[in-house]
Structure formats: structure tokens, C-alpha cells
Amino acid sequence: MIGFADGADRLVRVVGEAAAWTGLVMVLLIGFNVLARYLFSYGSVALQEAEWHLLAVGALFGMSYGLNQGEEVRVDVLYGGYSPRTKRVVDTIASLLLFLTSVAVATLSIGFVLQSYSLGEGSADPGGLPLRWVLKASIPAAFLLLALQALSNLIVLGAGLLNPDFANSRRPTSES
């Protein structure tokens, strides 16, 4: 199971690092759009829509990468005072709930994508981007990736609860 978790971590890391490039592309695109509009009086609805498409993809796939890198947000008011074992229990429960929620969102959003695909949905704006379903398909894909990372965390945390020596060698909680 640990081998599976390590493989999932690698996959999420690769996808997250690739998705991070959407930030650079988005900044360059926004810069181009601003310069083109103010210097050359040129504007493109499709390029403006591409900005928020890139933002959506970066944010959606960035969720699992943030979790992979241990950059998730915790409410530290109570958590900071917990013992390392209690932190692992809390993290295990949180990982299980995140896994279940991510699978539910991914499953429920598939119908949303299929409906968009069957309608041939594109931008409502003239000159906008076609194939809106491609962007919508990133929702279930990103949440399945998030579920995979949550499952990986769950495996490692569960192993740490069963074997404290293992827990001290892998993904320590913030103060263990």
C-alpha cells in the first residue's frame, strides 16, 4: 500500500508542477491582452476567456498539489496544542472525509460535463471559446486527483497510527 501511496504522490506532484505553468501562461496572456487593448485597440473575447480558463485549471489541479506539498490550511487554534498522535488521528479523519467528498464531487460533476458535451456547449459570447465541456471536464478530473492524494495521505497516516516508528519517518504533522 505504501508503494501505491508513493506512486500517487509522484503523479500528483507531476500534474501539479505542470498545472503551475498555467500561472505563467495566464500572466503572459493578461499582459498581452492589456498591451493589445491599450496600445493597439485590439481585444479578443476568446483570449479574455482563456484567462479564466487557465485560472480555473490552475486552481482545480493546484488543490491536490497543495495537499501533496503539505500546504493545506488548518485551523491551528486547537490543532497546534495536540500531541503528535492526536494530530495524526485528526489528519486521518480529515483525509478520509476529503477522500469521500472528492469522490462525491467528481461523481456528481460527470453529468454536468456530459450535458455540456451533448449540447456542444461553447461560449455564450460572440467570438468566445468553443468546447466549454473541455473546461468543465477538468472538474471531475481534478477532484479525482484530489481524492487520489487524500487516499495516499490516508494510507500513510494509517500506517503511522499502526507503527509509530514509521510515522516518525514519513510526512510528519506540523510539530511531530
Using an 8 Å Cβ cutoff, are 61 and 15 in contact? yes
> Residue 57: CA atoms inside 13 Å, Cβ hemisphere, count?
23
Amino acid 80: pLDDT: 81
The Cβ of residue 23 has, within 10 Å, a number of other Cβ atoms equal to: 14
Which residues of the chain fall short of a pLDDT of 50? 172-176
| Cα distance between residue 103 and residue 141, in whole Å | 10
Backbone angles phi, psi at 80, to 5 degrees: -60, -30
Amino acid 174: pLDDT: 46
**Short-list 31, 56, 81, CA closest to 142:** 56
Q: Which residues lie below 8 Å from residue 91, measured CB to CB, with a gap of 6+? A: 153, 157, 173
Amino acid 2: pLDDT: 84
Amino acid 113: pLDDT: 95
The Cβ of residue 106 has, within 10 Å, a number of other Cβ atoms equal to: 18
Amino acid 127: pLDDT: 87
Amino acid 169: pLDDT: 59
| Cα distance between residue 29 and residue 94, in whole Å | 37
| Cα distance between residue 155 and residue 150, in whole Å | 9
In the chain, domain spans:
2-169
| Cα distance between residue 13 and residue 35, in whole Å | 34
Using an 8 Å Cβ cutoff, are 12 and 145 in contact? yes
